[in-house]
Structures are given as C-alpha cells and as structure tokens.
Amino acid sequence: MTTRHHHEHEDPSVHSFILSGRDTVFGYHLAMFGMAEHRYQVVLEYRLPNDVVDIYLKDRADHPESWHAVRNTEDMVLPPIGDGTVTEYPARLDRVTQTGNGEDRVWEPISGGFTACIERVLTFRRFSEEDFPAHLTYLVYGRGDEAHIAHRLVKRPHYEQIISLQRVPEGVTQADLAGAVELSIPAVPDGGHGGLPWTTRPLPDRTYPALLHRDPARPTPITLTLGDERWWNITTLNA
C-alpha cells in the first residue's frame, strides 16, 4: 500500500472519505486543489464490516453536529482505486467536528482498524482546467430510496458540500444514482463567485427546481428536496 504505483508526481498520503447513507454507505473524497495527490473528486460505495456500520450509525445519531469519515491507516495514492486495481484497504472510522467554514477541524478515531471494501466507484475524476459552470452543479448518487448530492468541483475558489435529499427526486432512476449523474440548479449562479470563496451555504431553501443531465442534449426537469447536510468546507479545498 505504500508503493507509488508509478505516479511519480503524487506522494502516498492519507485520504478521508466523508460518509453518507444509512442502508448503503457512500464515501466522498475530501479534495485539495493545491496538492496533486488530493486533486480528485471521487465517490465510492463502501462495503464496511457490520460492527463498523453499527458504530457509524449510532455515533451519527449521538453526534448530529459532527460528520464521519473512513480514513486509510496506510498511506496510498488514489489512481489504483480509480482503475479498479485496489478494491480494499486498511482503515479506521473517524468522527469529524469542524467550526465555521472548516477553519478548525477535529478528527477523533471511534473504531479499531478494519478493511474498507469498495463495492463500486461511482465517479473518479482528476481536476483539469475547466471553466466554472454558469449555475450550481452537483452530482446525485445513492441507492434504493436514499439519494445525496455533492457539489461538482472545478477549481479555486469552490466549495465542498454534501447534502442528503429527503427523497429520491421523481425522474431520477437507480442508474442515475449509480452513475453519479450531474444536475444543475438554474436559479443559483456559480460562475466563479467573483473570484472569492463562498462563505455561506448557497442553498438556504428546502426545495429547488433542477435539471438532471443524464442526456446533456435533453435535460430532465426534477425537484430537489434537501435534507441533512453531510459536509461543508471552503478552507483546505482551496489551500
């Protein structure tokens, strides 16, 4: 796990995946624009040991102000996860508590070591030079009757946000969720935010009309009903 896998520009490192979901547990990689080894947007579906899932769900209920993450315990690089050559790795479960926009962050291990098994990779994308989208763009993912959205990252200054939806939107299929299809929110511009990081959450309302881009030529109108926020950060991402 500590070999470089011929990715000379990337050092093996610690990678944290913020968790969402109850019946199915998903992990979202915490990215950093300023470090090559963290310059990836990744969403995984995990298969975790039952006792670890039990700890996660109980601690989530006991600490609703915090988030939870799977964190590798041996340094690694991410591309072998993306190409499917790595499907499991040694890990621990952390409770993550932060203040404000992520200025102060505390990671508390709440499990012993275990093997984190990757059931599937929903999206794996290394950042490249892209223009900011005209409107807020998210990835929608999940399984069954659970769905989550994660802000699609482009470049500085952007923000990380994961929100669990109250329900799977009508018009969103299981294939869409499995493929982390993009959606946009036409009512809210992105466009680089004037070159400044967002400092407040950009989605204060509970519902938003959105467009699902399963077929980019023919977007599907849907309605998002927002539930619990699972992550928010502008600090380390933009460092």
HEC secondary structure over 129-178: CCCCCCEEEEEEEEECCEEEEEECCCCCCCCEEEEEECCCCCCCCHHHHH
Q: Is residue 51 part of a domain?
A: yes
Q: Which residues form the domain of 108?
A: 16-238
Contact assessment for residue 158 and residue 237, using Cβ atoms and an 8 Å cutoff: yes
- Tell me the pTM: 0.94
SS3 213: coil
Residue 199 resides in a domain: yes
Is residue 54 over pLDDT 70?
yes
pLDDT over 90 at 1, yes or no = no
Q: Averaged over 108-121, what is the pLDDT? A: 98
Residue 90: which pLDDT band, with cuts at 50, 70 and 90? very high
Q: How many CB atoms lie within 10 A of CB 42?
A: 21
Q: Provide the pairing of β-strand 182-189 with 160-165.
A: unpaired
Q: What is the pLDDT of residue 102?
A: 83
**For residue 5, what pLDDT is reported?**
40
pLDDT tens-digit readout, 196-231: 989 999 999 999 999 999 998 999 999 999 999 999
Residue 2: inside a domain: no
Residue 27 is assigned to a structural domain of this protein: yes
Is 5 domain-assigned? no
- What per-residue string of b and e applies to 14-37 under the rule 16 or more CB within 10 Å gives b? ebbbbbbbeebbbbbbbbbbeebb
| Percent of all residues in the chain with a pLDDT value above 90, rounded to a whole number | 92
Query: What local confidence, expressed as pLDDT, does residue 115 receive?
Result: 98
Structurally, the chain folds into a number of domains equal to 1
Q: CB atoms < 10 A from the CB of 55, how many? A: 19
What is the C-alpha to C-alpha distance for residues 191 and 132, in angstroms, rounded to an integer?
5
Query: Does residue 11 form part of some domain?
Result: no
**What's the CA gap between 117 and 193, in Å, rounded?**
38
Output the DSSP codes for 36-93. Answer: GGG-EEEEEEEE--HHHHHHHHHHHHH-TTSEEEEEESS-B-SHHHHTTS--EEEEEE
Mean pLDDT of the region 39-57: 98
Indicate whether 7 pLDDT > 50: no
Q: 100 falls in which pLDDT band (50, 70, 90)?
A: confident
Token digits of residue 50: 């039952």
Say if 94 falls within a structural domain.
yes
Assess whether pLDDT exceeds 70 at residue 152.
yes
| Domain-embedded: residue 220 | yes
Other CB atoms closer than 10 Å to residue 136's CB: what's the count? 24
> What is the average pLDDT across 129-157?
97
Q: Above 90 in pLDDT, residue 2?
A: no
Instruction: Please tell me the predicted confidence (pLDDT) of residue 6.
Output: 44
Q: Is 96 exposed, middle or buried (0-12, 13-18, 19+ CB in 10 A)?
A: buried
- The one-letter amino acid at 88: E
Number of residues assigned to the chain: 239
